[in-house]
Structure 1
């Protein structure tokens, strides 16, 4: 009998990729990673995971490689932990007659303008928005909507290229950044000019048509939107929870979602919940870990079960509070040292400490999730206790970044 294999397109640098590999192995599957550069995922070599170098943006090459693997293995599922490749996963699943997401729905949803259009047409509350192709459009639309505005690429993830523009100078500066060659575009440049709606930020994780949990999220200092902390569950009234749940689920039908995982981001405004973004995939680190600690639901394992055609189990077995704190670089330079991670990991209530950098790592801040240098996760039955333990552990971790010398030295 052939070994059952789970194919994954690319991995993930901050932990989710490894979690998928471990979950697949726990289910008795043989994970195989297809990647344009497998060496970038250090856990593959450390865990002795089979990986194959292949152009993951070439669909024909992927089908040939999967067909070749099918001669040795029984391929029972194909998935990934990266939004950029999730539509390709859907196409491969359809090609090989395997369960998977609808590729066209994923592609529409990953186009933030198309997403906004579909949600607005369905009556889902979203910020005012316009799509711009050049600096003249940006300036005109910002004046129409009214400053401050959010200016961001119409496609992308991880807050890359997203900035709050509070005045005309900041708007011009960020437009120049996006169009001046510093931002990498995967398609012809299109920018979303969006109303800045204020209020507490929440993230909703959905599997199929079921809301699994609602997290409260916090950001670092503006003008960028770098998540600094997540807490499950968010402290909400019954009315707030019901309204957020209803709006989150109302996003699925117009976007053609509802198979597998979806993540919806909100601001709670004076008028109630406003949808900031719908992500047609499982959230990255640390959401899966936090949901597992808070509710006892292993979303990654349950997602894999769906991928391979088995029945999932989303029943909550816990009622705890779990929170994560991101460690963020405070300056550009080179990491000289990091200390205290071992002590933090051993502290009471701490379930995970992960560093993304090591000594001699160069730091060039981007104003997005690439500025994270690690995270700490804590959990307990009490919100106050969880926050206390998280703060104590985070305070134990210190680092030094040596600034780059001035240009010309």
Structure 2
């Protein structure tokens, strides 16, 4: 997280980034800039009543730095620190006075205020009005109602939902919603699930959400997705695993970057999530005790995790270099820990970094490691409070046994 005085020249000179990078202004605490793949966006952020609140001011191509900073200093940060969310306030005479000298500031602040959001929804309605009394609602209008009023999903997510619908059921948009029958839905499910159950599930989840919203508004009396096979939403493809760990290990050894190579091997030897391994700090690693401390796992319960002698060997090699400061797997490009790892390709096979987790679990199952021990290592729901942070000898022995089995399977794979 770089700290610098955010000026217009500073903002214009920043390159876009695949991973969001936060820049903090040294002149005004709480005034930040987020740089992503395509945009640079100003934010005002502070703590209020024990919770952290961040409010978007606007993109750098629409709001200049001095305007965004003035809004943050004079309006947004004082309101947040007073315990008020600026997005819940209506436009007032004070706002008129504050922005009287700058149309740019007025536009940015109006986009934050609650009343402006209500007006934007009203404009959407005027552009595509609801059916008049007695008029049959089409699926296109039903989708419009759900997208703008019935769903709380992000705009990008809803855009992807709409693309999914238009690709797989384009003819539905011209039909009346009440005419879409359970048989239509079931036929579509069968057609898609023959080639991809994942695609069929994705489409039916969208259709189910839209239809339930239509039922709530009394457009239809029955949701047609009830005709789907029992348990359709839990039908998944077989979890992806590596299987051919010998050639996976050989291809990993061909990677030039030492940190990526070591991170992938640690993932396979520990069964941890990609984010848990990449965000490791050296202060979280105890090589003498053969354990690491996972700070922010998916379920929000920090825990100690056992590591094998093979993993200790991988980490010791990095510790001797320690060129990334306090990060175990640093990214010199982003001045933090690396955000992603390469996909391993061998012939027609492609193995993603997260496939190592499924492979570890599969190998552990094959050699007879009990479910409770696998769950404890992988960070699944713990049985009691002690299980969430104590590395028991049983788990340590299980982790060592899985690592020994993996190293036996990759014996001779080193390039």
In the superposition, the TM-score normalised over structure 1's length comes to: 0.25
Higher share in helix: 2
Higher relative CO (Cα under 8 Å, sequence separation at least 6) belongs to 1
Higher share in strand: 1
In the superposition, the TM-score normalised over structure 2's length comes to: 0.25
